[in-house]
Every structure is written in structure tokens, then in C-alpha cells.
Structure 1
Amino acid sequence: MTDTLTTTQPLSMTLPTYADRPAPTRPRGVRRVLYDSGYALSAFVLAVPAFVVVVTNLALGIGLAILIGGVLLLWVAVMVARGFARFERMRLRGMLGKPAETPAYLCPKPEAGFWRKVLLPLRDAQSWLDVLWSVLGLITGTIAFSLAVAWWAAAAGGLSYWFWQRWIPEDSDGTTGLADLLGLGEGRHDEIVLNLVVGGIALVTLPLVVRLAAATHGGLAHLLLSSRAELQHEVRRVEGGRDAARTAEAVSLRRLERDIHDGPQQRLVRLQMDLGRIKKQLAEDPALASRTVDEAMLQARETVDELRSLSRGIAPPLLVDRGLSAALGELTVRSEVPVEATVEVPDALPPHVETAVYFVVAEALTNIAKHSGATRVSVGVWMESGGVEVRVEDDGVGGAHLAKGSGLAGLQQRVIAADGRLEVTSPEGGPTVVNAWIPVGGP
């Protein structure tokens, strides 16, 4: 079930799709065939020197490992393999359009000594994967090169046989052509027809074959050279989300402690003093005691209101009781700036997703009321790409930035803790647009 909340104010907007990180462009059509062919044909050309240099230095280094020169030869093999691996990742991105990320290598500090600079790369797991690639790449490179050459030769030779066959001498020693061997006829005409058929089949299947050849070589390259980088990126993302969650929690606790100390705690102290005054005044001046009771009741009501306001910063009761749509509806009603809101989300969302979405909207509206000078705000919340997309736009003066510490930095920490993304676009003069995406799967 999907709830739709609409608060009408005079502002219309089109909700765009959240922009993901740009990925390498994959070639299409004829360009893809040419790029795949170029990648497959050049694979063997690059694999041969990589294999020769790396294996030669590796073999000599292992054989002379007890000597200083052997260690240096191993270091040369590793560094050469790194260089070929780096170039291969560039080919994967440029020719196949694959997002081949570069892993984080173990690199010595500039002030490190000579032997530390030599030995540290030998302890790096990715360096040995690069060495393994230099060895196995010759096998897949040979396969890719052979397939590409065979199919291009069959296509080009078969389709052009009718033209260049005239320079082939007539059989004078009793040899027969391919058509005769297959029992399909004799003579030049039958040979031309057969070669045209073979060339046509090769041309039709050429895109599939060169794609297979490129995928064979590129798949192994991506597995050995970039899969570890993706794992490292995932680990950094999880660690960043964990640190962001800790930071957001610490900041929230400090703010809550400060707000309680400056607000409800002071009012409760005053209420305690008023109750002591009332106890004395009941015997001396009942009328004055009655007025003091009224003041104490006002203090108690204001304390309760402040506590309710603070509780909204932890877990808004309406969000817990009635869900995200109702809680966002209350935010738009309480907003000091007129809001047009469109909320289209399922009833059942993970609690951490609902909380993150709520605080994105709440913090954005608070910042707009305090700093933007806006007269209109639009809020959009909808499902997008396996998560919840949030967009808040105002017509204020702009100039908002995550680094300015206006609450957006803390909001970014909260979004990252939910494994999401936050973007703020706010040129001078406006408008300001806050985009957030929180995955439903979440951490």
C-alpha cells in the first residue's frame, strides 16, 4: 500500500532521478565490435612482453633469493607486473567500459629506507595478483587473439573471395577446393558461393565471438586486478558508515544533554523553588499561594512541551505510532514557510530508513526557516532504485554548504550512517536543493 500526502501551496516541480556516480561509457553497435576486436587483438601483443619480463625476473629472483640480487629481481618482477596491471585497467575502462577500480597498494613512505621500499611491495597481496595476471594473461590473451584473428579472417576472406580468387592459379596437380572436399560441387563458382556463405556466417557471428574473446580476457583481468579494489571500497564504505553513525550519535547526545540542561532542567529547578514558596505561603497568604500555584502549573506545562520537542529529536512519537507519511505531514504543517509536499512511500519501511528520511526533511526545513529567507518550499519523497529518494527545494538566497556547519554536516553524517548519499546544490542567489537517497536494504 502507498500513502500519498499532498499539502497544496502554489509551487510545482518535476521530481528527477537521483544521479548515481558516473560509470564508464560502454561502446555500442559497430564501435563495440571494433573496440572488442582491438582489445582482443592487442591482448596477445601486450601479454607476451609482460609474461617474458615478469616470469624471467621472477624465476631468476627465486633462484637467487639467498642473494641480495635475487630480492632485487623479485622487486623488479613485482613492479613491472604492477605497471602492466595499471595499463590493463586503463584498457578495461577505455575499451570495454568496465568500472575497473585501482586497488590500494602497500606503498612505503617517502622517508622510508631503501630496503623497506624494496621489501614492502613484496608483502602486498595485490602485487602478487598482478604477477599472476602477467602469467595467466598470456593464456587468455592467446585465446582472445586467436578467436579475433580467425573470425576476422573468415569474414573478410570469405566475403572478398570472389574478387581475389582470380589470381589463384588453376589446379594442375589434381588438388581440389573446399567445396569439392565437402561434396558441394566443383569449379570456381561453387568455391565462391561456399566462401560467401562462410564469410557471411562469420560476419554475422563476429560481434558475439569478439565479445566472447574480449570477455574471456577482460573477465580474468577484472577478477585479478580490480575485484580486490571493490572489496576494499566496500570495507571503507562500511567503516565510514560506522564512524558516521558513532559521530552522529555522539553529536546528538551532546546536543540533547545541552538542551536538557538549558531547558527542562532549569524549569524543574524553578518549579521546585515555587513549590517551596507555596508551602510557606499557604499558611501566611493563601491568595498569593494560589497565584504561585498558577505560575508553577505554567512552568510544568512548558516543561512538558519542551520535553516533547526534545523527544522529537530522538524518535518522533508520531513517526513511531503512525508512520513516515503522517510524521512528514506534521512537519509540513508546522513549517514556518509554506510547503508543497508529495510523499509516496510504502507503509512498512525499516525504522532506520524512516528515521533518516524524517530528519533529512526536518533539518532541511529548519535550515530554510532560519537561513534561506525563502517564501516557498517543495518536498518530494518517493521510492527510487531500491531506496527512498528525498528532495527538498526552496526559492531562498542560496549559499548553503555542507562545510558551513549549519546542521547539514550533521545531517550528512546521519545519512551516511544509514548507508545513503546526500547532495546539496545551493548557488548564491538560490535555489537550494537538498537531495538524499537512503537504501531500504540499509546496514
Structure 2
Amino acid sequence: MNETTIWDAAGLDTDGPGLREDVPVAEARPADPCRVAWPTRVGLDTVYAVSAFPITLTFFVLVVTGLALSVGLAVVVGGVLILPLTVYVARGHAFFERLRLRGMMRWAAPTPAYVRPPAGSGFWRRSLTPLRDPQSWLDVLWSLVGLVTGTLAFSVAVAWWAGAVGGLTYWFWQRFIPESPDEHGLAWVLGIGDTRTAESWVNLAAGAVLALTLPLALRGVALLHGRLAGALLCSRAELQQQVVRVESGRAAARAAEATSMRRLERDIHDGPQQRLVRLTMDLGRARHRIGEDPEAAAVLIDGALEQARATVSELRALSRGVAPPLLVDRGLRAAIEEMLVQSPVPVHANLDIPDGLPPHVETAAYFVVAEALTNVAKHSGARTATVTVVPVGDRLHVAVADDGTGGAHLAKGLGLAGLRQRLDAADGTFSLDSPEGGPTLVVATLPLVASTLDRP
């Protein structure tokens, strides 16, 4: 597969600094799971809006009754226990509403983690723990205020459907309405006339207007009800997920750092350290023989020179695991350009790196390119490679492709697996596409701006 085919598969344009507009990139333009055909959307919005009123009314009555009983009976033991029971009823309502958001609104609607009593807790602690959970009270609040938007959604949906269907079919069932000289219709009120024909045309026009605006009206009330539900029932879950992601990222950073240090220590011990020991021994023997046997000493010195060259090469290879001073002093572009100059495989570069990147983003992007090019030189047998670093929306898109034999896998070594850990720590993503026979494509994305949760 040639270079053009490789980058067509990645959705990148090798002729310019950005992305091709005709090829979607999964990370840059995620598919919208909420996008459905408009007839399906109208049907889902109708069911969601019409069912909102009976559901919210039922739980409103249950929760208000429970709150009133718990307050009225607060002086007795039963009143104290009614309040947690009421909270559990509100949780049930919240759980059911999240199911409706996922099924009808096609939203993620994550469920927050509720506070749980410690293992072995007594009866009273287990019973009163829900009262300590902020999400429980948000569920209670939803059971109270959801009736307002639920009633509005139900009213608008029924009114629009009735007006649209009734107006469009008025010409048909008008004949079954008995005539009365004392009653006047909408046409008479508008001054168009008092005949059945005029009345049919007016109702037909009104029905057509309502039918055309029906999807917008249903979408509006469904979004109003759904957004309120999402804010009260799912916002804490999204915050909890961000916290978990940050904590897992920090854990991944510590694991990646520990793995890198262990590998560096092992490689130094097994490689340069052993060569330096042998170099010292060879130079010592050469020193003793230089007077007695200059030719043998010259052979030892030649061997020592080979050991020194091999040690320098190994140290260069190991230094790729440490951020170079050039990256710190002059930034990511200069560091990558220097790396490309030293690459034994010809590399085509497409660099459009913005200024002011966070240091951890620059470091992670540098190591993605460094590790990928190292694998290209050592294992791929590639003739050419392509490195692309461009901004895509609010993320930095890093991709390295080669026309080698492929077969790379995360389980085959610590390099690529360590990259994924490093990217997890930087809130990035990592993907590898390397079928047997090639080509290989490594793609990573990183946020252009550090998350507020990542800052101390």
C-alpha cells in the first residue's frame, strides 16, 4: 500500500497542514448517536412528551405524600423511616427517567454513584445513609419540579397533534356536525365567511401550519423536559466520570513512569554498563601490552573503539526514552524535526503545531513520534514513513504511518503499551492499525488545553 492509500485510511491530507474535509476522522468528528430519521424522532418525542405527565404526576404524589408524612410524624420512629423510603421512591423515579432519556432521547444519561453505607453497618446507619447523599436530594427535587415541565410537554404535544390532525381532516368529519344558525366557526371570526367551505379551508390551513411546526414544538418541549432531567439526574455522574478519568490518568502516569524507569535501568545495566566494563578491561590489558607487544595492544585498542562506538549508539537509543533538552528549550516542532533528520528511514513530515502547548502534551506527542519511528527503523522493514502532527478541533492529532510489513501489537513489547499509558495520563487516546503485511498506522490525540481538573 502506498503512502497516499495509508493516509486516505487515516483521513489525513498529506498535501496540506490539516484534515481532509471529505474523510471523517473518528476522534475529530464523533458520530452523533442521537441523530435518527425525523419520523422516528417525531415519534420518540411524542411518546416522551405525552408520557411525561402521568409519570411525573404519579411520582409527585408519592414523594409529596412521603415528605408530608415524614414531617408530620417526625416525632415518632415511623416518621424518621418514612423519609428514607421517600428518597428511595425518588431514586426509582430518577432511574426510570434515565432509562427514558437513553431510550427516547438517545442520550448517554449516566447514573451517578450513590453513597453506600460501609460494610457491616447497623440498621440505622444503613437506613439513614441515603439522606447524606446529595444526589438523593436532587432526585427528590426532580420528582417535584419535573411535574411542571412534564405538564407543559404533555399539553403542547396533545394540543399540537389534536390541532394538526383535526385541522387536516376537518373537511371530512365536518359533515357529521349538525348545523346551527346561532353558532359561528373560526372562519366567521376571521371575517372570511360563515359557510362550511370557508370553515373547511380555515381549519385545513390551521392544521397544515400545526403539522409543519409539530416536529419543532415536540422537540422543544422534549428538550426542555429532558435537559432539566439531565441536569438534575446526570450532571453529578459526568463530574464523577471526569474525576475518575483524572485519577486513572494519574495512576497511569505513575505506572508509565515506573515502567520507563525500570526499563531504562535494565537496559543501562544490560547494555552500556556491560560494554563500559569490557572497555575498561580492554584498555587495561592494552596498557600492559603496549610496551611488550604493540600489535596486540593495537588490536585491543581497536576492539575498545568498537565497544565505545556501540556504547554511544546504545546510549542514543536509550536517550529516546528521556525528553531531550531541545524539546524543553525550543518546543515540539524543533524536537520532532531533529528526530526526523536522524531517522534512518526517509520520513515525510506534515507539521502544523500550535504554540503554547502544555508541557505534558508536548512530551507525550514527542514520545509517540519517537517510539513509532523507532519501531519503523527496527522492525517494520519500511522504505518510507509519514509523520503528521496537526490540530483537529480542540485536540492535537499525531499520526505515524509506514509502508512496512506490519504485525505490530500492543502485547509484543513495552514500547507501545507504555505509550498508551502515557497518553492515558495526558487525557489522550491511542490507536494502532497494523495488519500482517502492512501498512502500520499509529494515531494519537491529545487535548490542546490542559483540563482544569488536571491543574493543582
Deviates more, 1:196-205 or 1:419-428: 419-428
Distance 1:233 1:265, change over 3 A: same
Post-superposition offset of 1:312: 3.0
Matched, 1:381 2:395: no
Aligned with 1:227 (options 230, 235, 242): 235
Classify 1:129/1:22 alpha carbon distance in 2 versus 1 (closer, same or farther; 3 Å). farther
**Does the CA contact (< 8 Å) of 2:376 and 2:382 recur in 1?**
no
Is this contact kept in 1: 2:332–2:353, CA < 8 A?
A: no
Shift of 1:244: 2.4
Structure 1 unaligned residues grouped into runs of 5+: 1-7
Q: Which residue of 1 aligns with 2:140?
A: 131
Q: Which has the higher contact order (CA 8 A, sep 6+)?
A: 1
SS in 1 for 2:74: coil
1:195 matched to 2:203? The reply is: yes
Equivalence map 1:149-168=2 (5 Å): 149-168=158-177
Any idea what SS the aligned residue of 2:431 has?
strand
CA distance in 1, matches of 2:77, 2:361: 58
Note the 1:54-93 alignment, pairs <5 A.
54-93=63-102
Partner of 1:343 in structure 2?
A: 350
In structure 2, C-alpha distance between the alignment counterparts of 1:207 and 1:34, rounded to whole Å: 9
- Which of 196, 213, 216 does residue 208 from structure 1 map onto? 216
- In the TM superposition, residue 27 of structure 1 has moved relative to its aligned partner by 2.5
Q: 1:335 to 1:111 in 2, by over 3 A?
A: farther
**Other-structure match for 2:260:** 252
- Superposed displacement of residue 125, structure 1: 0.9
Deviation string for 1:272-317 (max 9, x for gaps)? 88999999999x88979x9698888777766665554443321235
Q: Say if 1:356 and 1:415, in contact at 8 Å, map to a contact too.
A: yes
**TM norm structure 2:** 0.79
Residue 350 of structure 2: SS of its match in structure 1? Answer: strand
**CA distance in structure 1 between the aligned counterparts of 2:445 and 2:249, rounded to whole angstroms:** 14
Aligned partners of 2:3 and 2:189: how far apart in 1?
A: 82
Relative distance call for 1:425 and 1:45 in structure 2 (3 A) is farther
Task: Identify which of 189, 194, 204 aligns with 1:186.
Answer: 194
TM-score normalized by the length of structure 1: 0.81
**What SS does the corresponding residue of 1:343 show, helix, strand or coil?**
strand
CA RMSD of aligned residues (A): 3.8
With over 3 angstroms needed to count, the CA separation of the structure-2 counterparts of 1:438 and 1:286, relative to structure 1, is same
Which residue of structure 2 lines up, in the alignment, with residue 4 of structure 1? none
The aligned residue for residue 316 of structure 1 is 324
- Report whether the alignment pairs 1:120 with 2:121: no
AA at the equivalent of 1:91: R
Aligned length: 431
Tell me which amino acid in the other structure corresponds to 2:164: A
Partner secondary structure for residue 352 of structure 2: strand
CA offsets, 1:389-414, max 9 Å, x none?
32546765747235x66333322221
Q: Confirm whether residue 37 of structure 1 aligns to residue 46 of structure 2.
A: yes
The CA deviation string for residues 4-47 of structure 1, in whole angstroms up to 9 with x for no partner, is xxxx9888412145535776333232221221111111110211
Q: 2:414 is matched with which residue?
A: 406
User: Quick one: distance in 2 between partners of 1:273 and 1:91?
Assistant: 76
Q: Distance in 1 between matches of 2:376 and 2:258?
A: 25
Segment drifting more, 59-68 vs 126-135: 59-68
**Cα distance change of structure 1 residues 407 and 64 upon mapping to structure 2, 3 Å threshold:** farther
Which moved further from structure 2: 291-300 or 307-316? 291-300
Amino acid of the structure 1 residue aligned with 2:430: L
* Alpha-carbon distance in 2 for matches of 1:366, 1:76: 62
**Paired residue type of 2:172:** F
Corresponding residue of 1:19: 26
Q: Once the 2 structures are TM-superposed, how far is the Cα of residue 151 of structure 1 from its aligned partner?
A: 1.0
Correspondence list, 1:405-424, <5 A: 406-424=414-432
Range 156-165 or range 338-347, more displaced: 338-347
1:410 partner amino acid: G
Residue type of the alignment partner of 1:441: V
Contact 2:252 2:424 in 1 (8 A): yes
**Inter-partner Cα distance in structure 2 for 1:379 and 1:115:** 65
The equivalent position to 2:371 in structure 1, one of 339, 363, 378, is 363
